[in-house]
């Protein structure tokens, strides 16, 4: 009796085509099994059905497939330029929590770093397709960020698309073990800046205010960083004082590129309310197409915040702010003591018409031309504390 099962295996053995991964040793082993149950003739292979050990064939096939799959898995994947070696990363403790993950203090290969573990879809709300899309977008953006190099942009160290070897200290004081990161998490590693956020720095100086020289220095740092990003066709989309970091010497660096993206050739490809209310440009709030000029608007709000060391629109709800900015041209009130040259930059940056806003390259030149030798900030010359030249109700 001819066995179709046996014939297929026999033909494959004779032709040497059972599988591209079959070795000579495996072929000899399978051949010895054939000799136990039949013989090989010139015209084909014949078996006695009662002598065929199908169970043993299954075992042999399973072993072979297992070895083949293992060899495929061991094939080294090409490493991306920006990928870090997780074995060199030492995570110490939490320094901040964000919408999509947690930021830790740590060290990488001897360098002080901040590690952001991005936790997409682990809350059970995102679908597998949505999580995959976020990871794909993250990978594309990282490929851009790792090439950026500017003194006013936080230095990118590296990233990882997997966290299986990531050791995160447990947040429980009584637990000496490590927490297991989410299976679909990614991590980004950047330089650690000890000065904290610009937002916190301004809050600390809310009563005292800042000397005008410091105001211009911070404004120039931010404008130069944004000008560089725009020259690389990158729109930050969430420019605010909370996303700016200071080093030990009070130099400002742009950080948190969670929603940043390469600028689309067609503004209509960039839509949606992305950013933070209070800093968002009217066109973004209104769901209209936008471009890099949305960053210029947000920068204008930051200028006011740096000068005043205060929060814009303190007495309004987010809903009121959104409506008034778009429909009533609402903007923060500029103090009377503010030099006209500086106030002019603010007004031009937050113009309702994006086309009338200056490019960041022009903003840099305007700020560089402002004379700070005679003061002009919220701290009058000869005084140690700031003035209060506008009413206590600073919202409109």
Active-site residue list: 238
Location of structure tokens 């500017």:
150
φ, ψ of residue 312 to 5 degrees: the values are -70, 150
Phi-psi region of 290 (alpha: psi -120 to 50; beta: other; left: phi over 0): beta
User: CB-hemisphere CA count at 13 Å for 205?
Assistant: 21
Dihedral sign, CA of 340, 345, 348, 349?
A: negative
- Cα–Cα distance between 363 and 39 in angstroms, integer? 88
**Helix/strand/coil for 108:** strand
In the chain the first and final C-alpha atoms are separated, in Å, by 96
Contact assessment for residue 297 and residue 286, using Cβ atoms and an 8 Å cutoff: no
- Cα–Cα distance between 248 and 346 in angstroms, integer? 28
For 344, other C-beta atoms within 10 Å of its C-beta total: 14
Residue 72, Cβ density class (10 Å: 0-12 exposed, 13-18 middle, ≥19 buried): exposed
Per-residue burial over 195-205, b = 16 or more CB atoms within 10 Å of its CB, e = otherwise: bebbbebbeeb
Instruction: List the helix and strand counts (H, then E) for the chain.
Output: 11, 13
- Cα 91–Cα 95–Cα 101 angle in degrees, nearest 5: 80
Contact assessment for residue 216 and residue 186, using Cβ atoms and an 8 Å cutoff: no
- Cα–Cα distance between 124 and 300 in angstroms, integer? 38
User: CB-hemisphere CA count at 13 Å for 97?
Assistant: 1
What are the structure tokens assigned to 290, written together?
A: 């936008």
């Amino acid at each position: 009796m001819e066995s179709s099962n046996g014939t297929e295996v026999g033909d494959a053995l004779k032709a040497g085509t059972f599988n591209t991964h079959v070795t000579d040793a495996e072929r000899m082993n399978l051949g010895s099994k054939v000799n136990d149950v039949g013989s090989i003739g010139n015209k084909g292979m014949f078996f006695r059905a009662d002598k065929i050990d199908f169970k043993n064939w299954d075992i042999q096939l399973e072993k072979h497939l297992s070895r083949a799959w293992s060899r495929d898995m061991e094939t080294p994947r090409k490493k991306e330029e920006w990928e870090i070696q997780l074995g060199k990363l030492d995570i110490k403790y939490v320094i901040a929590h964000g919408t999509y993950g947690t930021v830790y203090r740590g060290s990488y290969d001897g360098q002080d770093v901040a590690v952001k573990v991005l936790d997409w879809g682990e809350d059970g709300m995102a679908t597998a397709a949505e999580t995959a899309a976020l990871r794909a977008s993250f990978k594309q953006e990282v490929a851009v960020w790792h090439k950026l190099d500017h003194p006013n942009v936080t230095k990118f160290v590296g990233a990882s698309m997997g966290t299986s070897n990531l050791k995160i200290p447990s947040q429980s004081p009584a637990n000496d073990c490590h927490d297991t990161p989410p299976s679909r998490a990614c991590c980004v590693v950047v330089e650690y800046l000890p000065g904290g956020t610009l937002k916190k720095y301004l809050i600390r100086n809310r009563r005292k205010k800042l000397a005008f020289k410091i105001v211009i220095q911070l404004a120039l740092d931010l404008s130069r960083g944004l000008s560089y990003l725009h020259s690389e066709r990158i729109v930050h989309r969430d420019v605010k004082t909370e996303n700016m970091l200071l080093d030990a010497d009070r130099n400002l660096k742009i950080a948190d590129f969670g929603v940043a993206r390469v600028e689309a050739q067609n503004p209509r490809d960039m839509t949606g309310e992305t950013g933070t209310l209070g800093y968002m440009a009217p066109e973004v709030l209104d769901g209209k197409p936008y471009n890099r000029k949305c960053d210029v608007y947000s920068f204008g709000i930051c200028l006011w915040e740096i000068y005043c060391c205060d929060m814009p629109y303190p007495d309004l709800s987010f809903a009121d702010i959104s409506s008034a900015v778009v429909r009533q041209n609402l903007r923060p009130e500029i103090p009377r003591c503010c030099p006209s040259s500086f106030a002019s930059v603010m007004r031009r940056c937050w113009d309702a018409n994006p086309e009338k806003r200056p490019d960041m390259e022009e903003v840099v030149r305007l700020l560089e031309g402002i004379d700070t030798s005679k003061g002009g900030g919220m701290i009058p010359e000869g005084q140690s504390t700031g003035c209060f030249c506008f009413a206590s109700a600073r919202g409109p």
